[in-house]
Amino acid sequence: MNLHEYQGKDILQKYGVRVQRGIVADTPEQAVEAAKKLQAETNTPIWVVKAQIHAGGRGKGKIAGTEQRGVALAKKIEDVETIARNILGNRLITLQTSAEGKVVNKVFVCEDTYYPGDSEPKEFYMSILLDRGKSKNVIMYSPEGGMNIEEVAEKTPHLIFKETIDPTVGLQPFQARKIAFNLGLSGDAVKEMTKFVFALYKAYMESDSAMFEINPVLKTSDNKILAVDAKVTLDDNSLYRHPELAAMRDVTEEDPTEVEAGNFNLNYVKLDGNVGCMVNGAGLAMATMDLIALSGGSPANFLDVGGTADAARVEQAFRIILKDANVKAILVNIFGGIVRCDRVAQGVVDAYKNIGDIPVPVIVRLQGTNAEEAKKIIDESGMKIYSAIEFREAADRVKEVLA
């Protein structure tokens, strides 16, 4: 589950990570209030207004049809209002969003942490994530942080460092110092950075996060180290242990069809192809997507209906797949291991009847227990459903109907 910057910084702050402070606002009026309150608390002379969406690249991104950036400095209180008005309710397009961008519902009004006239503010990159190959957490960091990190990774990969953490002993002081030295720090800044890294690692572990990305981590000329941005992804499997974090979910940021599918316990991920797939089991779903690609189509989704492919679930799954206007054919690929194929076949026929008219060809491949009976049920249903038993046969059918 992804969080907004303001939520991520909230978590960091709870663990003693120094952050660029801010107050979140839903309207331009609230943004002005937030700016005044923040000034009273922090003495900040100017503000940074930051669009809150689940995507990065906001600093370079623009509000659709305008020159307004997703992160902008406000030198006067009136500018806070203007920027908030330009951003709120509109679509922000960044390198990490689709071409349409994402509607911004909140802005985060922040203190300016780059003291005007600061001679040496330094932007670093730091992230923590699980290295699945090593089964260990890894801290990735770079002395060249900021908005061009993708370019750094591409052109000067030797400037991206990795520190692997052994989970049995945790982060060690020498590792935190090594990070500080590789970032080119000395003196007090080393001490500040090791404190920062320890607090960050603790926040990552105790919130059961899947990823932290802090870009930039800022060093001011008076050696304060702070998180100016925070991209936090929580581990979905751990949310039951953190009701207060689970409550941070913002469903408006998620694909509405995926949210609906989740409510039915269907494992659905929308993709941009033209063949809808309904499959039981994640492995078979992946193989099915490969097969569709091999036969010249491209999958419109990943959909695992799970072990109980009964009529009700099959119907829900059809309805979800059909919400996608790009779908030109649907391939149902079910292996009858625990479920019997004839029951699934009956489910498909019933679902087809209930939905009424499915406007695209449906190819059903059922294999396993009672596969022959299942094919018979489909063939005799009198509906426009093509049946197949062999995987290849199903793929050829898909190719035919797309041609």
Please report, as ranges, the residues that interact with Mn ion according to CB under 5 A: 215, 229
Using CA atoms, how far apart are residues 244 and 246, in angstroms rounded to an integer?
6
Residue 192 interacts, among Mn ion, ligand GDP, none and using kind-specific CB cut-offs from 5 to 8 Å, with: none
125 in active site? yes
DSSP, collapsed to helix, strand or coil, labels residue 326 as coil
Interface residue with ligand GDP among 163, 192, 229, 304 (CB under 6 A) is: 229
Q: Which of residues 103-122 bind ligand GDP (CB under 6 A)?
A: 112-114
Token match 């990774």: residue? 153
Total residues at the site for ligand GDP (CB under 6 A)? 18
DSSP, collapsed to helix, strand or coil, labels residue 368 as strand
Contact 197, 165 (CB under 8 A): no
Q: Which of 81, 123, 163, 213 is catalytic?
A: 213
Q: Count Cβ atoms below 10 Å from residue 308 Cβ, excluding itself.
A: 15
Closest distance of CB 87 from ligand GDP, Å: 13
Residue 87 interacts, among ligand GDP, Mn ion, none and using kind-specific CB cut-offs from 5 to 8 Å, with: none
Q: Is the peptide bond before 121 cis (omega within 30 degrees of 0)?
A: no
DSSP, collapsed to helix, strand or coil, labels residue 370 as coil
Q: Count Cβ atoms below 10 Å from residue 60 Cβ, excluding itself.
A: 13
Closest distance of CB 234 from ligand GDP, Å: 19
Per-residue mark of binding to ligand GDP, 140-159 (x: CB under 6 A): ------xx------------
Using CA atoms, how far apart are residues 279 and 336, in angstroms rounded to an integer?
11
Contact 160, 140 (CB under 8 A): yes
Q: Which of residues 237-296 bind ligand GDP (CB under 6 A)?
A: none
Distance of CA 402 to the CA centre of its chain: 31
298, amino acid identity: S
Interface residue with ligand GDP among 32, 64, 73, 402 (CB under 6 A) is: 73
213 in active site? yes
Closest distance of CB 163 from Mn ion, Å: 21
Q: Which of residues 32-71 bind ligand GDP (CB under 6 A)?
A: 48, 50, 56-59, 71
Closest distance of CB 149 from Mn ion, Å: 8
Residue 73 interacts, among ligand GDP, Mn ion, none and using kind-specific CB cut-offs from 5 to 8 Å, with: ligand GDP
388, amino acid identity: A
Closest distance of CB 97 from ligand GDP, Å: 11
Q: Which helix (H) or strand (E) holds 313?
A: helix 311-322
165, amino acid identity: I
Active site residues: 125, 213
Which residues are at the interface with ligand GDP (CB under 6 A)?
20, 48, 50, 56-59, 71, 73, 112-114, 146-147, 215-216, 228-229
